[in-house]
Structure 1
Amino acid sequence: MKIRIKDVTVVGRNIDSARIRDLVELQTQTGMKLPEIREAGKPGALLTAPVIAFLSMRGAGHAFTWEDALDLSLDEIRVVVEPGDRPAVQEDEQADPPQPSGDSAPDGDAPAEATASSARRPSKRRSPGSPSK
């Protein structure tokens, strides 16, 4: 993935893909420790764009400071979509995918949830011919 910062296009970097030297420099310039930087760089966080801009520009060899990153407007940072890029997944979209209803499942099998729950507790169903209470 590439990003465009003002008029410069660079490879997009995040905390996991950044060079260690750039993470150390980010810690030095911000006074934040790595866990704080991770929190600040999460999708949807206020400092996500400046963290990505700083790490991307530094990774491309530009003399870019934290102050430069903070001075950017969100309009000055754009994702450049290239063939083969995976679509971005928002944090709230990473939740478990919807499960099929308990009414039916492919090939007529019982849904996994029903099978697992019935294995844990005895069935309340009575077999034909059993006495009722």
Structure 2
Amino acid sequence: MNKAYVTFRDQKSRDRALAVLDEFRWRKSTLTSKIAEAAPDPIVKAPEMPVTLSFDPDDKTPVNEKVVKSTTPLYNVTYEEQLEQKKKAAYSVMRKLGNEMAKTNPELQQFVRFHKLRRKGQICEVDDIKASPEDVC
């Protein structure tokens, strides 16, 4: 069953269109019309989620170190390890994308399965993360 969503400027136009389209014959098909439920507003949902802030008054960590940890969390990790973490993150995103594609569109399940088997769990080729050139000014 195919669906089409139409937006109207006012309720009067919407009601008139619903009356005209309901039971309308078009290309050997009979159309039905109804008012769609509104999508939930994500901003309204936000307050429902509990916000937890961690503050330890006994924490003796200097403020500048706290700032560095919160803004550049990989500052104490070697560059090679950072690149490896980025590669793992990219693979994870692509794996999740493949799962979501197969879940959303069942017709793609065979396609996704084939490419995952062919590419070690990935739905497409993922290039290696390249290190930045060292002689950049």
Question: Could you say which TM-score interval applies, normalised by the shorter chain?
Answer: under 0.3
**TM norm structure 2:** 0.19
**TM norm structure 1:** 0.19
Kindly indicate which of the two structures has a greater share of residues assigned to helix: 2
With a CA cutoff of 8 Å and minimum separation of 6, indicate the structure with the bigger relative contact order.
1
Kindly indicate which of the two structures has a greater share of residues assigned to strand: 1
